[in-house]
A and B are shown apart, each in its own frame.
Chain A
Amino acid sequence: MAELRFEAVAKRFGELTAVRELTLTLADGEFLVLLGPTGAGKTTTLRLAAGLERPDSGRVFIGGRDVTDWPPAARDVAFIFQTFSLYPHLDVRDNLAFPLRAPARRLGEAEIRRRVEAVAELLGIADKLANRATQLSGGEMQRVAIGRALVREPRLFLMDEPLSSLDAKLRETLRIELKRIQRDLGATILYVTHDQIEATTMADRIGVLEGGELLQLAPPREVYDRPAEVRVARRLGSPAINLLPAALVPELVSASGVARIGIRPEDITLGTGAFRARVRQIEPLGADTVVLLEFRDTGLHALTTGRDGLQTGQQLALDLARDRLLLFDERGRLLASTGTG
């Protein structure tokens, strides 16, 4: 396993800047998740790391060596693609063995067999080895694709939304499995997703990308509690953070230059407090309930654990956890968070 480092890497496609001046270091053995909306430049970042795209400027380092001019084969990284994951002309066994048969590696057939079977066992696809790649369910295909990366023991794993095509149950299983494998192998993984649960549960650190720009790079807790900007604050949390204009709640503004105030839905307490609101809509989620409130002519989402017999149209008191407010200036940057984080 090795460290990956981007130094001021930029990539343009014609007029469009897909990645701008990206600088980031992925430590040896770290699980770093890139989170961002569609078109944010996540895939492009992985492709730059793999050598499938050449940066317009900047350098890429793997294990301390400048690999910017190296072809993909020489970089010894494994890539799980967002689409087209398996070779359709090969069966599962040959798909798994494909990287091991590469001229760059030249392993003996016995060793290949051993590794393929070990990985198939690990991923629960041992009984599918003889299937053609086209005769698998989506989840099985995805596990084969992950397996094809795992057999390699590469220096770096690049994973582009590997779980996005799976159903919720399988996604959860594989998520836990992947995290476990990563810990066991001490693998270095750069993982792309736009699923915030995947990001927060698996990542050592999350990098939030938007418009080709790295907005924040920090551990999940910190990204959640102290988002560097409004755009980051919006990216994490479900339901999304409430953003109120400062003028609407002057009593909460504790510093100068505050333009907007962010309040997480779970930081709103219903039933007691100095503020008043009306219940507009109630969405039970199971354990929790999302309540959409009408508060000073704007909407406000609250998340409560209680099932306290709320009714739409009802007037109620509420409290905002003053120690957990996020204050943003007019450019959207975090001024201060009143919380301890």
Chain B
Amino acid sequence: MSARDQARSIVEPAPFSRRLAALVIVVYALVSSIPLAWIVATSFKTPNDAIAYPPKLVFTPSLEGYVNLFTARTRQTPEYLASLPPPETWYEELVRKRNMVITGPSRFAGRYANSLIIGFGSTFFAVLLGTFAAYAFSRFGIPLKEDLLFFILSTRMFPPIAVAIPIYLMYRQLGLTDTQLGMIILYTAVNLSLSVWLLKGFIDEIPKEYEEAAMVDGYSRLQAFRKVVLPQAATGIAATAIFCLIFAWNEYAFALLLTSGLAQTAPPFIPNIIGEGGLDWPAVAAGTTLFLLPVMIFTILLRKHLLRGITFGALRR
């Protein structure tokens, strides 16, 4: 065996440690996806299966949870049900079997739409404003720059909910309680400090020579920003957007306090889906499953940018 065969790169891990690392990651991924799998499984169970003990691992899937999530129903006597014309749809039939009739859609779709509008709206503004602010902080000699940056960060030094009461009072005065606009402004404000700081870090990493080259090449500063800085900051913007969306999407306390009807988001709504005789677990699980989807899809869509960041080293010579 030659020395070359034995030689080992010092940057590449050895095959054994690489396999070990992979094993640890797989185990971790499996363990952390158990609750997820549980929720998804529960959403396809009947109410009885959902609360069965010991838990049923094998069960007949049912869409009852999803039907209950999207509909409002009332219980009827068998005589009344018998007098009705036969059910027209598969979900009506499902509901009839439980001696109930559908009286209309539930409020879930509206709450879900609120979540989408508020979550993505506030993420959009937090990232947009954050990118411009971070660029300015990174490139220009702003008076009191350090103090301003510290001030922006200081808004994150206490949990946002600590200022819930003043915000509640303020919002009541301004008529912003229970409005989508109010929630978008609030989440944007909370996320802005995170996005400014994160993005400033990413933009600092982009050598200013690129913009200067573009400006000499005939672009204005704003055009250079769009053509040269934005593509290179894509990784940072994607990561920041994901963080902002996750916060806004999952936020519970402010949503509970500031919204009740029109602008209520999904998080305070889902746990309160009441069925007969207590919580309707399959419906709650169905709501949770649907609730998980947007963040998951968003992250998967942006994954390309996140991964590219790793191989995106600056071109130094």
Q: Which residue of A lies closest to B219 (CB)?
A: A102
User: Which of B215, B218, B227, B315 is close to A85, meaning CB atoms less than 8 Å apart?
Assistant: B315
Cα distance, A72 to B220, chains bound together (Å):
8
Determine whether A326 belongs to the interface, using a CB cutoff of 8 Å to chain B.
Answer: no
Interface stretch (choices A32-40, A75-83, A198-206, A271-279): A75-83
Q: Helix, strand, loop or mixed for chain B's interface?
A: helix
Q: Mark B209-227, 1 if CB is under 8 A from A, else 0.
A: 1101111111111010001
Q: How far is the CB of A98 from chain B (nearest CB, A)?
A: 6
CB-CB under 8 A for A73 and B207, given A85-B315, A88-B315, A133-B315: no
**Which residues of A are in contact with B by a Cβ distance under 8 Å?**
50-52, 71-73, 75-79, 81, 83-89, 98-99, 102-105, 133-134, 138, 141-142, 148, 152, 165
Which B residues touch A148, using CB under 8 A? Answer: 217
**Does B90 sit within 8 A of A, measured CB to CB?**
no
Taking a contact as CB atoms under 8 Å apart, the answer to whether A134 and B209 are in contact is: no
Q: Are A52 and B232 in contact (CB under 8 A)?
A: no
In contact, B316 and A84 (Cβ under 8 angstroms) = yes
Bound Cα distance A98, B227 (Å)? 9
Among B209, B210, B218, B231, contact of A102 (Cβ-Cβ < 8 Å): B218
Determine which of B217, B227, B313, B317 lies in contact with A83 in the assembled complex, contact meaning CB atoms within 8 Å: B317
Tell me if B219 and A103 are in contact (CB < 8 A): yes
B310 at the interface (CB under 8 A from A): no
Supposing A84-B315, A88-B315 touch, asked if A104 and B232 sit within 8 A by C-beta, the answer is: no
B293 at interface, CB cutoff 8 A: no
B228 part of interface (Cβ distance < 8 Å): yes
CA of A73 to CA of B312, assembled, Å: 27
Q: Are A98 and B217 in contact (CB under 8 A)?
A: yes
Contact A87 B228 (CB under 8 A): yes
| Shortest distance between the CB of B219 and any CB in chain A (Å) | 5
Q: Tell which of A81, A138, A142 touches B213, judged by Cβ atoms closer than 8 Å.
A: A81
- B57 touches A (CB below 8 Å): no
Residues in A whose Cβ lies below 8 Å from that of B218: 73, 76, 99, 102-105
Q: Give 15 A-B contacts (CB < 8 Å), ordered by A residue.
A: A50-B212, A73-B217, A73-B219, A73-B220, A76-B218, A81-B213, A84-B314, A85-B317, A87-B210, A88-B313, A99-B218, A103-B220, A105-B218, A141-B317, A148-B217
Are B312 and A88 touching (Cβ within 8 A)? Answer: yes
CA distance A86 to B231 in the complex (A): 14
Binary A-proximity of B190-224 (CB < 8 A = 1, otherwise 0): 00000000000000000101101111111111010
**A134→B315 contact, CB < 8 A:** yes
Among A83, A85, A89, A105, contact of B231 (Cβ-Cβ < 8 Å): A89
A84 near B216: Cβ-Cβ < 8 Å = no
Chain A residues lying within 8 Å of B210, measured Cβ to Cβ, are 84, 87
User: Which one of A51, A71, A78, A81 contacts B209 once the chains associate, using CB atoms below 8 Å?
Assistant: A81
Beta-carbon contact of A102 and B217 below 8 Å: yes
Known: A84-B317, A133-B315. 6 other contacts (CB 8 A): A71-B221, A87-B213, A88-B312, A88-B313, A105-B218, A148-B217
A165 to B221, CA, bound (A): 29
Smallest CB gap from B218: residue in A: A102
B221 (CB) vs chain A CBs: closest residue:
A71
